Structures are given as C-alpha cells and as structure tokens.
C-alpha cells in the first residue's frame, strides 16, 4: 500500500547560496513545497538600515528575480513556496512578488501571503519599561546596557502563521523572522493536519527542517567521509524530504543530480550547529536528536524515523542586532625562502608601528595562512621550505579612527618591510562596521497575539 | 571501508598496558568523521564513528577532559554529549571563536574547521582495530 507523501525541497542553504539550486529543485523532479531561508543572525539589521533609507526596502531583494524565474513552473506544477525573504518588510516583498506575478500573467493563479508580527523594534522601549529585560542568553547582560546601539529586534516565529497562510490558499508565503525549521514544519502540519500539540510530530518536522535547511550540506556538500568518491558536485542535488503521515520521512534528491544522500551525509548535517542533542528547542517544540534513527533505503535515499519530542516552552527567542564597532583585516603574501620567518618579522614590525602611534584596539589577531590559520597550535611548525605564507592581521575597536589607520599600515610594509612580499594588489582593506548578535528570550504571550497573516489581493 | 586512505602511514606506536590486550595510539582521523559549526562564541564539533564498532572506543577514549586538553589555549571550556543512535559524540567548545559571528577576526570565524582540528587528536585503541585502520609499514 503506498502512503501519501509530501515533498519539501530546500531551495538554498543561506542567502548567497548557489543561484541555480532553487530553479533545479523546481524543474528537476516532483516537489510539493520549496522552502528558502534568507536570514542569518544579523541580516535583519542590514534590512532595517535599507528600510530607514527607503520605506519600500528592507527585504531580500534577490527573492524577486528568483520568483521571476520559477513562478511559471511553480504555478503550472502546483508547487508552494515558503520563505522568510520578507525580512523587516514582508509587505513590500510580497507586493514586489505580486508585481512579478502580474507581469507573468499569473496573478490569478498565484496567491501571495505575508506574515507580520515578529518585528518588536517599534515597541522595544515599551517592552523594556514593562519589565522585559531581554537579557543576552550567553552573558546575562540586560538589553538596557546597549539600548542605544540596537538596530533590529525580531522574535522567531514558528509554523503557526505559515499553516494559517497555507490554509488560506496561499501559494507563496513570505514571512519576516521565522525559524528555518518553521518553513518546513508549516507545510507538513498543513498537509497532514497534525495536532500542534503532537510533540513527536513537531520534533519530526523540526528534524526534517534541520536536515534540509543548509541545502546541499546534507546531500554531499562539505562531506568529510569519503569526499573523493562524491561525484557530480558541479550540479549538486539539493535535498528533498519525502514526508509521511506517521512522521517518518525519506531524505533524497532529484535523479540525475550530483552529490550523495547517505547516512554519513545526513549524520554530518544532523550534528551541525548542535548544542545539547536531547533538547533542540524551537518555537514549536523540543526535539530529541538522540531519538533519531537513520537507515539507508536505496541509493541516495535515507529514511529517518523514531523521532521523539517534548512540549514547547512558554518563551520565544528574539534575535537582536546591535552596533558594536569596527574591524578590518589586511593580508600580504611572503614567498620562499624563509617565508614564515619573513611573515613573522612583518607582523612584529606592524604591531610595533601601531603601538608607537599610540593606537589602541580591543583585539589584534595575527594568523599565518598556510601554517596555523585553521588549527592554530595543533598544526605544529611549518615545513622549512614552505613555498609561501600569507600574513593575515585583523584589528577590532569600538572607534573607527584606529581601524582606519590600521588599513593604511599594510601597503607600506611592501617597501619598508621584509623582502619577497606580494599579494597586495587588492588594495587597502576596507573598514567594516561590526553589527553583533544579541539572542534573548521573551514570553510568547507578548508576541503571538500580534502575529498577522494577510493574503494579498491579486 | 569507505574512507580515503593516504599514501603513507606509519604504524602507530604500541602502548602496552600492564594488563589486557595491547593498544595503539591512533589519530581520530582514521576512526571518525566530523563536522563543526558555531553558536555565538561556541564551536560545536560532531564526531561520528566511521564504523559502528568504533563507537564504544570513542565513547571510552574521547573524553571531555582529553578534548579540553587537546584544545587548551583554543577553547575556554568543553562540554560533551552522546548520540548513540548516530554513533556520534557532540562537543561544545566555548569561547573558541574570538567572539564568533561578525565580531570575530579569525579566518575560521564560524568554526567550520574545528572538525578536522579534533580529528588530529590521538587516542589509544585496541590493536585489532588499529590494524584495521592503519597499515603497518
């Protein structure tokens, strides 16, 4: 007896992932849903900055040309899309996609929904005054200590508004801050009609979402075990979850694509960015990763089952981004002979110059690429005849001036430092603004009543 | 075995205990694969046995203390979790990323190669397992 399956495909592992991947997911085989994650930890702060300059911005603009490419196939095949590309302006993003649908003559076939309510920046002071301290989950510091530097504040929503949007007939669901796992859970709960309080089903969908949320990293990309045997990565197949009503699912990829889906590839993805495996906490519930069973079920098919979960907490996580300071990184390449000694001598000279100028930094970090940049002291000394060593120095400070001056201290080393130096044609390193991440918790009762799902008129 | 084999490998030194079968020091690279990631200033390393039979050895020998010693000067504190269902261990290396994320100046700001850094570590394994993974000259 064949069971009904729902196929959820990952479109990308992050904003900046391979542009072809979502197109090939839509064209390369049958799928029911395409999920696309655009939001890294501090992405919202970039979007807030854009919105403050132009109220029609503040979302992931790349999403719109992608929709232009795939909307005809999406509409013809009845695929639905879930994405947090809305950033801090889901409405503007949804309206831009609607414009694309109209231009393609698809506005009657493609219903677009937007989800709002995650953005708490407008009422942040109100919340603080009301006693919500929004303490940093890692350091315990209260948000009030950096209030003036806060750039964005968004609660992580879960699957509920996505389920509601899909129930309302939406084909494209555009959200602000929603967990990656929520983008996969929403389709599964909608299709199977699972109870939101069925913790094992919540956990199963969460694990499915975690497996596919980094794209090809589950299907042969970045695979350490047997990497030489992985074929066809020029055309990597991004993962597809075939979910069943009992909560088990198969991870696979489209035929004719490169990469591999194996117990090894799925295992490596499961442990990626994992804390305590017993308690993988999301807005929708808690998954126990020690309950997961993996079985190879044919070529490029891994069955995942047995997943157990627990009740969701009474809190939601909040992602806050704040202005921290400035940083810059400069590099130079020293060649054989004695490349490492020359690079070290250059580092000493540069540090001496910075100190003599009275410049102060929160951190000066030197690494020697080719020697210790990846494994530090574990690498041991380099071979004496190493062909080249890249000197890489970074500085970080609260103020801009010392970082700016540092960027002008790299090029002079070429003519005023140790010999056989090259690799400076890239020009002066740029001063970067550092926007840092502040994770906090808030009662879900403060957020959930304000979450809204809106289906746009065509 | 599905791993890629390097062209030259010395037989690891025998470490004879006072009682019990002989053991040899073997690099984790020949016993496990791994993937690492980040959460703030913490790097996590998931260590997965290359063969299920190696997992009990990993559980016994890749202790929190040994890993903390291995990463001394690189991480401030280490936690360990077990995932027997995946033949895996998960290690959290706190304070390993110079602040992590956008703050960090490191090449490996996101902890993506702490995985292979852990695979450098040597552990004592029973000689019969050592013989399977490392060919003597």
What CATH number should be reported for the domain holding residue B103? 3.30.70
User: A228 — contact with chain B (CB < 8 Å)?
Assistant: yes
In this prediction, residue B12 carries a pLDDT of: 62
Residue B11's nearest CA partner among B126, B116, B137, B115 is: B137
Same-domain status, A357 and A299: no
In this prediction, residue B6 carries a pLDDT of: 45
**Is residue B9 domain-resident?**
no
Confidence of residue B14 (pLDDT cuts 50, 70, 90): low
Range of the domain at A14: 5-118+156-313
- Which of B31, B105, B113 to substitute to test the interface with A, most A CBs within 10 Å? B105
In this prediction, residue A90 carries a pLDDT of: 97
- Which of A140, A251, A262, A271 to substitute to test the interface with B, most B CBs within 10 Å? A271
> A426 is written with which tokens?
């890239």
Same-domain status, A228 and A344: no
Which chain A residues have a beta carbon less than 8 Å from that of B103?
324, 327, 396, 434, 436
pLDDT mean over B110-126: 97
Position A337 pLDDT exceeds 90: yes
Query: How far B19 CA sits from the closest chain A CA (Å)?
Result: 32
Q: Do A226 and B2 touch (CB under 8 A)?
A: yes
Task: Give the number of A-B residue pairs with CB atoms closer than 8 Å.
Answer: 136
- CATH code, domain carrying A365: 3.30.70.260
Rg (CA), chain A: 25
For A174-227, write each residue's pLDDT tens digit. 999 999 999 999 999 999 999 999 999 999 999 999 999 999 999 999 999 999
Q: Do A367 and B116 touch (CB under 8 A)?
A: no
In this prediction, residue A42 carries a pLDDT of: 83
**Is residue A151 domain-resident?**
no
In this prediction, residue A426 carries a pLDDT of: 77
Query: How far B24 CA sits from the closest chain A CA (Å)?
Result: 21
**Is residue A448 domain-resident?**
no
Q: Do B70 and A378 touch (CB under 8 A)?
A: yes
Same-domain status, A262 and A329: no
Same-domain status, A325 and A308: no
Q: pLDDT exceeding 70 applies to what percent of chain A?
A: 100
Would you put residue B9 in left (φ > 0), alpha (ψ -120 to 50) or beta?
A: beta
Same-domain status, A76 and A35: yes
Of A267, A271, A365, the CB nearest to B105: A365
Q: pLDDT exceeding 90 applies to what percent of chain A?
A: 96
Same-domain status, A362 and A290: no
ipTM, two decimals, is: 0.96
pLDDT mean over A275-281: 98
From the centroid of its chain, how far is CA B84? 16
In this prediction, residue B48 carries a pLDDT of: 98
Q: What are phi and psi of B33, to 5 degrees?
A: -115, 170
Residue A261's nearest CA partner among A249, A253, A270 is: A253
Which chain B residues have a beta carbon less than 8 Å from that of A437?
40, 101-102
Q: Which residues make beta-bridge pairs with A330?
A: A393
In this prediction, residue A420 carries a pLDDT of: 97
Q: Do A378 and B116 touch (CB under 8 A)?
A: no
**What is the total count of domains within chain A?**
2
Same-domain status, A48 and A104: yes
Same-domain status, A252 and A301: yes
Position B8 pLDDT exceeds 60: no
In this prediction, residue B1 carries a pLDDT of: 40
- Which of A224, A319, A330 to substitute to test the interface with B, most B CBs within 10 Å? A224
Cβ-Cβ contacts under 8 Å for A147 (sequence gap 6 or more):
A124, A125, A128
Query: How far A281 CA sits from the closest chain B CA (Å)?
Result: 14
Position A18 pLDDT exceeds 60: yes
Q: Do A290 and B34 touch (CB under 8 A)?
A: no
Residues of B with CB under 8 A from a CB of A: 2-4, 33-41, 44, 46-48, 50, 70, 73-74, 81-86, 88, 90, 92, 98-99, 101-103, 105-108, 113, 115-117, 120
**Is residue A126 domain-resident?**
no
Q: Which of A284, A313, A342 is the last residue of a domain?
A: A313
**Is residue A128 domain-resident?**
no
Position B135 pLDDT exceeds 80: no
Q: Which of A279, A313, A347 is the last residue of a domain?
A: A313
Least confident span in A132-141, A424-433, B44-53 = A424-433
Q: Do A373 and B108 touch (CB under 8 A)?
A: yes
Position A100 pLDDT exceeds 70: yes
**Is residue A45 domain-resident?**
yes
Q: What is the SS3 string spanning A199-268?
A: HHHHHHHHHHHHHHCCHHHHCCCCCCCCHHHCCCCCCECCCEEEEECCCCEEEECCCCCECCCCHHHHHH
Q: What are phi and psi of A160, to 5 degrees?
A: -55, -50
Residue A395's nearest CA partner among A363, A433, A427, A367 is: A363
- What is the residue whose two structure tokens read 């063969």? B51
User: A365 — contact with chain B (CB < 8 Å)?
Assistant: yes
Cα dihedral value A249, A85, A270, A316, nearest 10? -100
**Is residue B69 domain-resident?**
yes
**Is residue B77 domain-resident?**
yes
Question: Exposed e or buried b for every residue in B88-125, given b needs 16+ CB within 10 A?
Answer: bbbbbbbebbbbbbbbbbbbbbbbbbbbbbbbebbbbb
Q: Do B101 and A229 touch (CB under 8 A)?
A: no
Q: Do B33 and A264 touch (CB under 8 A)?
A: yes
Average pLDDT over chain A, rounded to whole? 97
For A411-450, write each residue's pLDDT tens digit. 999 999 999 999 997 789 999 999 999 999 999 999 999 9
Of A272, A374, A436, the CB nearest to B113: A374
User: A345 — contact with chain B (CB < 8 Å)?
Assistant: no
In this prediction, residue B16 carries a pLDDT of: 55
**Is residue B41 domain-resident?**
yes
More confident call, B5 vs A351 = A351
- What is the residue whose two structure tokens read 């992932």? A17
User: A336 — contact with chain B (CB < 8 Å)?
Assistant: no
> Is residue A206 a contact partner of residue A285, using CB atoms and an 8 Å limit?
yes
Q: Which of A275, A297, A313 is the last residue of a domain?
A: A313
**What is the total count of domains within chain B?**
1
In this prediction, residue B20 carries a pLDDT of: 72
Position B76 pLDDT exceeds 80: yes
Which chain B residues have a beta carbon less than 8 Å from that of A372?
none
Range of the domain at B71: 29-133
Rg (CA), chain B: 16
> B31 is written with which tokens?
């016993």
**Is residue A135 domain-resident?**
no
Position B115 pLDDT exceeds 50: yes
For A292-320, write each residue's pLDDT tens digit. 999 999 999 999 999 999 999 999 999 99
pLDDT mean over A10-30: 96
**Is residue B21 domain-resident?**
no
Position B134 pLDDT exceeds 50: yes
């Amino acid at each position: 007896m064949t069971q009904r399956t729902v196929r959820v495909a990952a479109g990308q592992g992050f904003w900046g992932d391979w542009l072809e991947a979502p197109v090939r997911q839509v064209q390369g085989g049958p799928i029911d849903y395409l999920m696309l994650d655009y939001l890294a930890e501090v992405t919202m702060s970039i979007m807030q900055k854009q919105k403050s300059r132009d109220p029609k911005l503040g979302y992931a603009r790349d999403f719109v040309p992608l929709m232009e490419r795939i909307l005809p196939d999406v509409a013809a095949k009845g695929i639905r899309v879930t994405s947090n590309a809305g950033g801090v302006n889901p409405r503007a993003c949804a309206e831009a996609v609607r414009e694309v649908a109209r231009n393609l003559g698809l506005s009657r076939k493609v219903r677009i929904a937007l989800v709002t309510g995650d953005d708490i920046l407008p009422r942040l002071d109100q919340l603080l005054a009301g006693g919500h301290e929004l303490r940093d989950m890692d350091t315990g510091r209260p948000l009030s200590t950096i209030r003036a530097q806060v750039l964005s504040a968004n609660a992580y929503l879960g699957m509920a508004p996505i389920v509601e949007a899909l129930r309302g007939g939406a084909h494209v669901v555009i959200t602000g801050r929603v967990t990656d796992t929520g983008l996969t859970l929403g389709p599964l709960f909608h299709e199977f009609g699972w109870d939101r309080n069925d913790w094992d089903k919540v956990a199963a969908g969460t694990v499915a979402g975690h497996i596919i949320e980094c794209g090809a990293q589950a299907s042969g990309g970045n695979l350490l075990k047997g990497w030489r045997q992985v074929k066809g990565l020029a055309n990597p197949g991004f993962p597809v979850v075939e979910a069943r009503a009992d909560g088990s699912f198969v991870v696979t990829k489209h035929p004719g694509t490169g990469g591999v889906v194996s117990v090894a590839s799925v295992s490596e993805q499961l442990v990626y960015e994992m804390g305590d495996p017993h308690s993988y906490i999301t807005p929708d519930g808690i998954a126990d990763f020690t309950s997961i069973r993996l079985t190879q079920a044919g070529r490029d098919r891994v069955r995942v089952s047995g997943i157990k979960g627990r009740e969701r907490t009474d809190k939601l996580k909040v992602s806050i981004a704040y202005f921290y300071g400035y940083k810059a990184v400069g590099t130079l390449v020293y060649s054989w002979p004695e490349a490492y000694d020359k690079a070290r001598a250059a580092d000493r000279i540069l540090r001496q110059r910075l100190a003599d100028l009275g410049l102060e930094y929160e951190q000066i970090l030197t690494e020697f690429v080719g020697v210790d940049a990846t494994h530090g002291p574990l690498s041991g000394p380099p071979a004496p005849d190493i062909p080249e060593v890249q000197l890489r120095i970074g500085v970080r400070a609260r103020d801009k001036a010392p970082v700016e001056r540092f960027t002008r201290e790299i090029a002079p080393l070429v003519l005023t430092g140790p010999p056989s130096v090259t690799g400076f044609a890239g020009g002066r390193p740029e001063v970067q603004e550092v926007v840092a991440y502040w994770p906090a918790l808030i009662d879900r009762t403060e957020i959930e009543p304000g979450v809204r799902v809106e289906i746009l008129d065509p | 075995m599905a791993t890629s084999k390097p062209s030259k490998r010395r037989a690891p030194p025998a470490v004879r205990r006072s009682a019990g079968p002989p053991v040899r020091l073997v690099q984790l690279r020949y016993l496990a694969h791994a993937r690492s990631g980040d959460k703030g200033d913490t790097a996590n390393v998931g260590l997965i046995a290359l063969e299920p039979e190696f997992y009990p050895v990993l559980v016994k020998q890749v202790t929190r203390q040994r890993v903390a010693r291995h990463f001394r000067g690189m991480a401030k504190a280490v936690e360990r979790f077990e995932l027997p269902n995946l033949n895996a261990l998960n290690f959290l290396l706190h304070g390993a990323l110079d602040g992590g994320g956008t703050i960090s100046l490191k090449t490996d700001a996101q902890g993506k190669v702490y995985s292979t850094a852990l695979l450098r570590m040597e552990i004592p394994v029973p000689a019969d397992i050592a013989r399977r993974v490392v060919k003597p000259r």
